Structure 1
Amino acid sequence: MTPHTLAGIRASNQLGEVQAALHPGPGAARLLFPINDNVLNTADPHRLAALHRDLPLVYIGNQYDRDRQFDRYFAPAAAEVDHLVAGKWTTTDRWPHVHFIGRIPFPEVDRLYRRSLATVLLAPDRTAARGQFTQRIFEAVLAGCLPITPSELRSADKVVPEELIITDAADVRHVLDKLAALSGGTGHADLIGRCLRHLEIFRLSTQLETLNDLLYHSTAPHGGWIAR
């Protein structure tokens, strides 16, 4: 941060509301979850595609308000392919066929993604409607695990390639079959590379520029937000 930014933090408590969403609510500014520039710059899609992936499908994350999407997208596909679900899931009786393994230590997250071909991005309805994408997509893509994404996650096309956007469980299985055919080849590396390029909007440097702008305009005499 620049000295001006630090001065702005000290001088004002009127920054206002920011939301980590592509479509923040009324009166809020957009400030996305950041991904380290150097990590993104150095990710190698060919090396990631060459990893042995023995697990077709994985989900890493907690249950909170995701039951409807889990029912619609993940659970039907899990009945047909090998899979694992890691995270805090306290009510699972309705999915006896799903393999829940509970919480895992953070270092295990990367290892699990690196052995998995794909994941499905799931979000509570309230954040899906705002186009909020968390660090889970970074963790998956940086490990070469491809993020199959429901179209109901607003602006999904800005975050993942078109062929990974789905509308139902049949689409999930269709995409998994196509990915299995590509696995380890140049087409696989190309798709991972395009997923990495779709993460550009989350760059830390971009978010810092946005934060500097917000702090400047919150302390300027005229006040107000920059529309983005």
Structure 2
Amino acid sequence: MRIGYSCWGFLGNGITDTPDGGRSHRRPLLDALAGHGHDLVLLQADRDRAEAHDSAPGEAFRFDPSGFPALDALVLEWRWPIAGRNTTVCGSPGHTCDLHRQEDLLAHYTADRQLTTMVWDKDRKLPADSHWRRARAVTVCEASLTVTPGAHRLLFPADDHLLDAADPQGLAALPRPITLAYAGNQYERDAAFSRYFAPAAADVHHQVAGKWTDTDRWPGLRFTGRLPFSEVDSLYRRSLATVLLLPERYAAAGQMTQRIFEAVLAGCLPLAPADIAGAHLFVPRPLIVRSGADVREKLEWLRQIEGTDDHAELISASLDRLELFRLSTQAATLDRLLRRPAGNAATTSLWRVTA
């Protein structure tokens, strides 16, 4: 199949000053789809070249950020209105055209031609009453354990090669001078941060990397600003543990971000708040926490077993939980959903011939 893929993000390391969480899994997923025999066309701007001045990540793919090539299916990493950014007039200062381009793609392929379309609502921003959820040609996917009625589960994928190469004993042996770390942005995480992370961080060597602009309520904590994506693994390899901080809407649906496998693959143990739906599916039960005091006690325990077989076994058990996210499983799910029979098959064939 020729698949048009629309995403507003990077395939490589990108630039530091951007909140693109897809960098850890977008390129592996596209490579996996290509490995399934699909021909991919990327339909948004090549931000690796335009912004990061890096041509290498996109060399394997064709970009068509303004045209409408012949396609068999369309996949959208869902974009939503962001005031002052993609809702402004094209060409105005600070404008990004991701939303306008998505609207044009949906109008051309989905509404007019009824082309098989997959909306991957990675940020849970597609309204429950959106007409796209009822459109005949559209399949909605969500990256959570519990999905909106009618949607399908498509989790953030963890690269098979990295999962298979991880060495628990070797990771347990690494020196970890930072007791508690977090790499990610503030967006809608204040409640979880205040309840679980901040009380424990006050007593241990810690680091918070990412865009945190409103930190006055947590005096004395170490916020170090955005970290280049290429340095995230290094931070986690120097850190004993992290707390999986989620916006409330993610926690309620059991939507775990890519932060879990970025940490675990580096041997940084993930502490999961108990209010995350399905927390026991994401981490071993000894790593589930219910308060800041609980986080503090877990950190003391982890320091006691650091470098031991018990430590390695916890890392191994955490790696086992990542099987839920295995790339080959997610790619197979996406492939199956794209290939399943749909009412638009005849229209799709006609569009392939006449486009």
TM-score, normalisation: structure 1:
0.92
Q: What's the counterpart of residue 180 of structure 2? A: 57
Which of 237, 246, 250 is 1:127 aligned to? Answer: 250
Count of equivalent residues: 222
1:32-73 deviation line (CA, Å, top 9, x unaligned): 000111110010010100000111101111000110111100
> Which is further off, 194-203 or 19-28?
19-28
Contact 1:74 1:120 in 2 (8 A): yes
Highest CA radius of gyration, 1 or 2? Answer: 2
1:16 is aligned to 2:139 = yes
Q: Which runs of 5+ in 2 are unaligned?
A: 1-32, 41-70, 75-114, 118-136, 346-355
Task: Name the CA distance, whole Å, in 1 between partners of 2:304 and 2:162.
Answer: 28
Decide whether aligned partners of structure 1 residues 4 and 91 sit closer, same or farther in structure 2, where only a CA change above 3 A counts.
closer
1:25 is aligned to 2:148 = yes
1:101-159 deviation line (CA, Å, top 9, x unaligned): 00111122111111100000000001111111111111100110000010111101011
Give the ranges of 4+ consecutive aligned residues of structure 1 lying more than 6 Å apart after TM superposition: 4-7
Question: Structure 1 vs Structure 2: percent identity of aligned residues?
Answer: 55
Task: Name the CA distance, whole Å, in 1 between partners of 2:267 and 2:190.
Answer: 26
Q: What's the counterpart of residue 271 of structure 2? A: 148
Pick the structure with more helix per residue.
Answer: 1
Which of 147, 155, 159 is 1:36 aligned to? Answer: 159
SS in 2 for 1:70: helix
Relative contact order (C-alpha < 8 Å, sep 6+): which is higher? 1
Task: Name the CA distance, whole Å, in 2 between partners of 1:157 and 1:90.
Answer: 32
Instruction: For 1:174-189, list aligned pairs within 5 A.
Output: 174-189=297-312
Q: What's the counterpart of residue 81 of structure 1? A: 204
Give the root-mean-square deviation of aligned CA atoms.
1.9
Decide whether aligned partners of structure 1 residues 118 and 17 sit closer, same or farther in structure 2, where only a CA change above 3 A counts.
same
1:159 is aligned to 2:282 = yes
Q: What's the counterpart of residue 108 of structure 2? A: none
Measure how far apart 1:78 and its partner are. 1.1
Task: Name the CA distance, whole Å, in 2 between partners of 1:112 and 1:145.
Answer: 9
1:8-36 deviation line (CA, Å, top 9, x unaligned): 52752324211111111122110000011
Residue type of the alignment partner of 2:116: S
Which of 236, 240, 252 is 1:113 aligned to? Answer: 236
Measure how far apart 1:3 and its partner are. 5.2
Task: Name the CA distance, whole Å, in 2 between partners of 1:87 and 1:3.
Answer: 37
SS in 1 for 2:208: strand
Contact 1:19 1:28 in 2 (8 A): yes
Residue type of the alignment partner of 1:9: A
Q: Which runs of 5+ in 1 are unaligned?
A: 223-228
Which of 201, 205, 209 is 2:328 aligned to? Answer: 205
